[in-house]
Amino acid sequence: MVHTQPLLEQLQNKGRIEILALSPNGFVFDPMNGHSFTLNGSGVILLQLLQKYHSIAEVLRELIRIYDVEENRASIAIDRFVQQLHKVLS
């Protein structure tokens, strides 16, 4: 299972994820600090899921449903994405 729930909760408690502006082509703008970055297609979907759902378990279920991938592979992708997002936003 995914081990990054505490990192996600830190970002959620600070309101860092929901305020990100995300364009359909993957451009992300952070209004808290004025920084921007881009995501690939998978990153766009992951960020949308993180903005919609409050737990990694919910994001994991949706990612498996959308991509029809094994749970372990989806879990690793979520772990890496949340860790990187935490570095960028902290």
Would you list the domain boundaries of the chain? Answer: 5-89
Buried b (16+ CB within 10 A) or exposed e, 18-49: eebeeeeeeebeeeeeeeeeebeeebbbbbeb
Rounded alpha-carbon distances, angstroms, from residue 90 to 8, 33, 35, 82: 11, 11, 12, 12
Tens-level pLDDT at each residue, the chain (90 residues)? 457 889 999 999 999 999 999 999 999 999 999 999 999 999 999 999 999 998 999 999 999 999 999 999 999 999 999 999 999 998
- Rounded to whole angstroms, how far apart are CA atoms 37 and 1? 28
Token look-up 């995914």 returns 2
Rounded alpha-carbon distances, angstroms, from residue 27 to 18, 62, 65: 15, 22, 25
